[in-house]
Structure 1
Amino acid sequence: MVLPDNTMIGLEVHMQIDVGKLFCRCNSEGQLLEESFVRRLHSSSGEIGSKDISTYYEEARDRLFKYIVSENSCLVEADEEPPLEINRKALKAALAMSMAFSSSIMDRVSVMRKVVIDGSNTSGFQRTSLIGIGGEIKSGKAKAGITTICLEEDSCRKVEEKANIVVYSLDRLGLPLIEISTSPDMKSAEDAMSIAREIGNRMLVMGLLRKGADAIRQDVNFSMGYGRVEIKGVSKLSAFREILENEADRQKWLAEAVKRVKANGGFEKLEFSDVTPLLTDTDSKIIWKGLNDGKKIYATKLANFRGVMKTDHFRFGREIADALKPINIKGVIHYEELPAYGLTINERDTITEYFSLKDNDSFLLLITEPDKVQDASKVIEERIEKLLSLDFSETRAALEDNTTRYMRPLSGSSRMYPETDIPVIKIDEQILEEASEEIPEGLESFTNSISRKYGISIQDAETIISDGKLEKFTLMANEKNGKVLSRIINQTIPEMNKKYGKEVSWEQIQNVIGFCIKNSLGRYSMERAIDMLYSGNSVKEILNPNLLKPVSEESIMNLIKKCDIDVNSNMADILRKLNSMNEGVIDPSIVARLINTVRNKDSN
């Protein structure tokens, strides 16, 4: 599907940086603990004195939030202690990214509180600060203006959600997040992917991007004439095309459904009735489950909606059902779904007759508690009236099948107010000079420079950068040992992780590699040392020159003669036998050359 000509696409790219947390001194990583606590959150007014519509929506859901404490969380994350001053490394990284895209940097940075009561922050707000405005991103033929570059704290990680209880963990809460928002200048999924990739690549080049599946997250703003839809949580660039095409298709058929409803006579006010007595003889398990849980069956006439609820491409029924889920009403059934869920055609006809439905009319069934009917009716009416006005603006969540579902209304400016615990930060010449030294260049030119400087292939340089191993590599590498260390980092260590089914701390690996470099020991000595480390030997045991010292060519030949090696046997068997008879490190390439020499002599 080709996106409409009036398509407008903008991006919000969120990138976690691995420099410790933003407003405390906890590490970026930490295991979850047994300790937990619970909270209920309530909305508050923003700086302009009013509450944001999205906070009203979340508050109405009346959910309980449970937070699992982690090793890398403290009283700041629990909102039991004021935040510390902003992480300077994180601030410099945000300034450097602003410089990279020619954004205008704020003279002073004010930390603000953004009201968020979906439980993703223990305090009921997220701390965020504006670092830069304006600028432009280019990638090939694609380009987009930058609206803002912000530095904010990341939210909690959701563990599970059951009924009205949501469980979060604190390990992610407070991680520094650089958010780059663009203007809606892109017309295609390809352009959006290209711009998002360029932003992510700059952070890779900087070398601060946190490892992990959620280290980079994109929100996509999409419009095709019916208002802005914010699609949250598009984690994979490869999904851009399908998600945008599916959203465009949804809006196209939704607009057609609106035309049909209006042509039939338009929307009429809902009047729910208790139709439980009509279904007391039903065999429907879903109905009986609701009744056994103390719920009742309510129904209302949907005048002029037949044919658009779930027919062909029309899915108006899903739009209504999704709007009810946030208030915990999931038992929603409509005329066009039946017979289904154990309900028969006769039972459908009974309800049809009860409401005296005409050919264009439908009905809606709700399985819910009596005290929720009024709220449900209000939600449905507001949802229908908004869509009938061809205003499709809202926040939607990206799903695994690359479709989207309704989350909440779009947030506005009413949810912002100043953070009173953190003073205004002056951006002085010193921090600007420090940040200017970290400005990331484009990935292609940077990869080429790393390749040239350390004598490694472009592919190896790309792998080191994309895997977030650049800092580890450059701390030890030079033009002489670059190829060896590239192999160790890109191949040997991942192979050991797989072979032994575990990981060893980088500090230990760095110690043994550093020892090898200091003593002019090559690749095979490094690989021996790392293998011993994974086998359970301590660093102290491994740092023995005799264990890691290369065996000379003369000594290897003497071993071949002494051990009565069958030179025609498998090379792996030959190496295994030689290693078992010797304490030092044997270079396989030397063994292969010597064995071939002996074989050639024997054949002559």
Structure 2
Amino acid sequence: MSEYDYEELGLVAGLEIHQQLDTATKLFCDSPTTLREPEEADREFTRYLHPTKSELGELDEAALEESRVDREFTYLAYDTTCLVEEDDEPPKRLDEEALAVALQIADLLDVSVVDQAHVMRKLVIDGSNTSGFQRTLLLGQDGEIETEEGPVSIVDLLLEEESAQRVEETDDGVVYSLDRLGIPLVEIGTGPDIRSPAQAREAAERIGTLLRSTGSVKRGLGTIRQDVNVSIADGARVEIKGVQDLQGIEDIVRNEVGRQTELVAIADELAARDAAVGEPREVTDLFADTDSGVIRGALEDDGAVTAVPLYGFDGLVGREIQPDRRLGTELSDHAKRHGAGGIFHTDELPAYGVTEAEVDSLREAVGAGPDDAVAIVAADPETSELAIEAAADRAADAIEGVPEETRDANEDGTTRYLRPLPGAARMYPETDVPPVEPDPSEVETPELLDEKTDRYVEDFGLDPGLAEQIAFGQRFPLFDTAVDRGIDPTLAATTLASTTTELRRNGVAIERVGDEQFLGVLDLVESGDLAKEGVGEVLSEIAADPTLSADEAVEAAGLAGVDRETVREAVSEVVERNADQVAEEGMGAFSGLMGEAMGALRGKADGEVVSEVLREEIGKRS
């Protein structure tokens, strides 16, 4: 897709960054924040959720639409799941560690912290919270970050609980895992100051860097999510949920501009055609002898075919509005919300087993002429009726232009309809948690990652590339701890950056090695009880069995340190095996024999000791 003139189109965009905090316990209970595998669950329970009215007696439109989809929610619970997560007891006090980290983030974003923060309930009935709401509190406002295209304001900073993790969809509903529910999460909302896809990416990257500077945020897939709000002058505000990566942000904004531009053009054409949406009706009899597998399958299950005439829509339902997505795809997304597999429409028919004769009969039955289109749904009678009505409503919106809505990000940079935009009616006070009076003076301003990189180079003599790798990596707090306890900075940095990367590429689950085990391994190297060449093998042993201590892993790897005499015996054997080469090349044989000597000792001896002894033994024979 070609680049647009974003200024001419009036692009306005903003971000909502959601970042999990790396705290010991959850926001409102003492459960750990460690993720579990679904097969580790030791029990499950089910719930049905329904919307409730706000204090003003209003129902949130997004929650109301969600409730129209009748689904059962199943929750997987673990031996670490608490009653708060199961919604069987009130929440405990706000976690102090999470509040302290959030205040550090407020400082980095130049946010003004509120004098008193009140916990609110945000209505969510998609099953991702057992209670039907998410607890959240406004912590600060009026911050700012800089980008190359100008400043981007920070409208608000919130501290809230993470939702449950979706495991799978079933015929009856959705299965969620409770291991993620309640993990502390900050939500950072920017102002509508972003004017290009590149600026959206840069703003998200800048915020991400500031978050990582705390050393107290979780890392990895799913721990940070970006929502993007996008509109153009003739379009409407659309919130796009769940963008996973920085490149995705740029693609999402660009594709959303294209989608809204196409929808505006379609609306103009529909207005010129005096388009209208007719009344849905059942047309099952027309397909009694159909060759369409989809329709025949529905009818064999006592289903029905419903249709809606789209007057003036001919050729426009099949018009592409995003890469490989059309206006018809939008209608289909709405139909799928009610359980249908999708829709057929006359811009793509005859096809899929539907004949030209059936299309002609369909047009005649609903009063559609050559300038009109028809959409149909085949499903059980109730689903078919609800789905065609949803498709008809979306078609009516197309006449008006771009609808305000919440959309879900696809992996290819396109989006699909999710639900209407939420409103203020979804928020109401949480009466079980007292207000919090945050004190920003109690927290230290974190060192920025760029500053940390420079300090590592200047103070510890690290190579700039290695210093940057450590500073921007997940384990810089562990590096600082190691250096503080006297471990050589280069050894610590190389182990935590290069060695772990190499092991991960070789399939070692290095994330299973805990901080204390890392420090234990480094201590053994520092004390001379483990050669640094054996670090990778010892870490691999711990990754395979995380119950091992560093000492136990050394024993398991067979890498207990050897004395100098043992090193000399092993080196001498290597030199004797290669006596002819030594006699011919002298010290020139050193490089080749060094690798063989290290292999013979299997990482039990330090490379410097082996090198020194090898030079001595070669010198004796040359």
TM-score (norm 1): 0.90
2:481 matched to 1:470? no
Q: Which residue of 2 aligns with 1:260?
A: 269
Percent identical residues: 33
Contact 2:14 2:229 in 1 (8 A): yes
- Aligned pairs, number: 591
Deviation of 1:448 after TM superposition, in Å, equals 1.5
Instruction: From 431, 448, 457, give the equivalent of 1:451.
Output: 457
Deviation of 1:282 after TM superposition, in Å, equals 1.1
Instruction: Give runs of aligned pairs for residues 203-602 of structure 1, distance below 5 A.
Output: 203-225=211-233, 226-268=235-277, 270-311=278-319, 315-372=326-383, 375-376=386-387, 378-427=389-438, 431-435=439-443, 437=444, 439-478=445-484, 481-496=488-503, 501-503=508-510, 504-506=512-514, 507-517=516-526, 523-524=532-533, 530=539, 533=542, 539=550, 541=552, 549=561, 551-552=563-564, 556-557=567-568, 559-561=570-572, 565-567=576-578, 568=581, 570-577=593-600, 579=601, 585-592=604-611, 594-596=613-615, 598-599=617-618, 602=621
Instruction: From 15, 18, 35, give the equivalent of 2:22.
Output: 18
**Which whole-Å deviations, capped at 9, do the CAs of 1:40-75 have from their partners, x for residues lacking one?**
000011233311110111001111111111344211
Contact 2:307 2:388 in 1 (8 A): no
Q: Which residue of 2 aligns with 1:118?
A: 126
Q: Which residue of 2 aligns with 1:197?
A: 205
Cα distance in 1 for partners of 2:462, 2:169 equals: 48
Contact 2:363 2:374 in 1 (8 A): yes
Cα distance in 1 for partners of 2:534, 2:466 equals: 21
Cα distance in 1 for partners of 2:506, 2:538 equals: 15
Instruction: Give runs of aligned pairs for residues 80-95 of structure 1, distance below 5 A.
Output: 80-95=88-103
Deviation of 1:309 after TM superposition, in Å, equals 0.5
Q: For the structure 1 residues 531 and 256, does the alpha-carbon distance in structure 2 shift closer, same or farther, using more than 3 Å as the test?
A: closer
Instruction: State the secondary structure of the residue aligned to 1:255.
Output: helix
Q: Which residue of 1 aligns with 2:587?
A: none
Which structure 2 segments of 5+ residues have no match? 582-591
Cα distance in 1 for partners of 2:337, 2:136 equals: 26
Cα distance in 2 for partners of 1:384, 1:141 equals: 38
Q: For the structure 1 residues 219 and 532, does the alpha-carbon distance in structure 2 shift closer, same or farther, using more than 3 Å as the test?
A: closer
Instruction: State the secondary structure of the residue aligned to 2:91.
Output: coil
Cα distance in 1 for partners of 2:309, 2:505 equals: 61
Q: Over aligned residues, Cα RMSD in angstroms? A: 2.8
**Which whole-Å deviations, capped at 9, do the CAs of 1:21-45 have from their partners, x for residues lacking one?**
1111111114241411111000011
Cα distance in 2 for partners of 1:373, 1:499 equals: 51
Q: For the structure 1 residues 527 and 355, does the alpha-carbon distance in structure 2 shift closer, same or farther, using more than 3 Å as the test?
A: closer
Cα distance in 2 for partners of 1:457, 1:98 equals: 32
Indicate the larger mover: 71-80 or 529-538: 529-538
Contact 1:30 1:72 in 2 (8 A): no
Q: For the structure 1 residues 529 and 322, does the alpha-carbon distance in structure 2 shift closer, same or farther, using more than 3 Å as the test?
A: closer
Indicate the larger mover: 204-213 or 64-73: 64-73
Cα distance in 2 for partners of 1:531, 1:264 equals: 69
Indicate the larger mover: 158-167 or 594-603: 594-603
Indicate the larger mover: 282-291 or 594-603: 594-603
Instruction: State the secondary structure of the residue aligned to 1:449.
Output: helix
Cα distance in 1 for partners of 2:375, 2:146 equals: 50
Cα distance in 2 for partners of 1:307, 1:353 equals: 18
**Which whole-Å deviations, capped at 9, do the CAs of 1:181-218 have from their partners, x for residues lacking one?**
00010111111111111111111111011132011100
Deviation of 1:365 after TM superposition, in Å, equals 1.1
Q: For the structure 1 residues 273 and 549, does the alpha-carbon distance in structure 2 shift closer, same or farther, using more than 3 Å as the test?
A: closer
**Which whole-Å deviations, capped at 9, do the CAs of 1:1-22 have from their partners, x for residues lacking one?**
3343110110000100110211
Q: For the structure 1 residues 71 and 496, does the alpha-carbon distance in structure 2 shift closer, same or farther, using more than 3 Å as the test?
A: farther
2:127 matched to 1:127? no
Q: Which residue of 1 aligns with 2:3?
A: 2
Cα distance in 1 for partners of 2:457, 2:370 equals: 72
2:43 matched to 1:35? yes
Contact 2:339 2:383 in 1 (8 A): no
Instruction: State the secondary structure of the residue aligned to 1:299.
Output: strand
Contact 2:377 2:388 in 1 (8 A): no
Deviation of 1:420 after TM superposition, in Å, equals 0.8
Contact 1:254 1:315 in 2 (8 A): no
Q: For the structure 1 residues 449 and 141, does the alpha-carbon distance in structure 2 shift closer, same or farther, using more than 3 Å as the test?
A: farther
Q: For the structure 1 residues 164 and 337, does the alpha-carbon distance in structure 2 shift closer, same or farther, using more than 3 Å as the test?
A: farther
Instruction: State the secondary structure of the residue aligned to 1:134.
Output: strand
Instruction: State the secondary structure of the residue aligned to 2:204.
Output: helix
Q: For the structure 1 residues 373 and 281, does the alpha-carbon distance in structure 2 shift closer, same or farther, using more than 3 Å as the test?
A: closer
Q: Which residue of 2 aligns with 1:49?
A: 57
Cα distance in 1 for partners of 2:280, 2:218 equals: 52
Contact 2:337 2:387 in 1 (8 A): no
Contact 2:574 2:597 in 1 (8 A): no
Q: Which amino acid aligns with 1:42?
A: H
Cα distance in 1 for partners of 2:64, 2:47 equals: 17
Deviation of 1:446 after TM superposition, in Å, equals 2.5
Q: Which amino acid aligns with 1:513?
A: L
Indicate the larger mover: 289-298 or 113-122: 289-298
Instruction: State the secondary structure of the residue aligned to 2:343.
Output: strand
Deviation of 1:422 after TM superposition, in Å, equals 0.2
Contact 1:77 1:174 in 2 (8 A): yes
Cα distance in 1 for partners of 2:559, 2:276 equals: 84
Identify the structure with bigger relative contact order (alpha carbons < 8 Å, sequence gap 6+).
1
Cα distance in 2 for partners of 1:559, 1:158 equals: 56
